[in-house]
Amino acid sequence: MSTPQCSIDGRPPKLHVFFEDAAWHWAICVPRERGCGFQVVAYNEKGYASESEAMSDGSVALGRIAYIAVAKSRDETGTAFRSVAQDRRR
């Protein structure tokens, strides 16, 4: 899973589950800052046999991204949350 910048400024990330190349996949997207469409912020690399498997795994990833985004925003406002950079060093 790749998790580049994910802002929580009123544009929450959304999970998309789709069928492509004979397998189910998920992607987490946020609306683009400019223009229209979405920016992919995380995706799976392996295909799933069923839509429910992809939905389940994607939901876990979405929860992790939402947690990281909230923790990061609270850390920047001076609360007790560790920064994302500190978590990555562990």
pLDDT value, residue 86: 47
H or E element in which residue 81 lies: none
Stretches where the chain sits below pLDDT 70 are: 1-10, 67-90
Cα–Cα–Cα angle for 9, 44, 59, nearest 5°? 55
pLDDT value, residue 38: 86
Whether the CB-CB separation of 58 and 38 falls below 8 Å is answered with no
Task: Say what the pTM is.
Answer: 0.63
pLDDT in tens, 58-75: 999 999 887 665 566 555
Domain boundaries along the sequence of the chain: 1-75
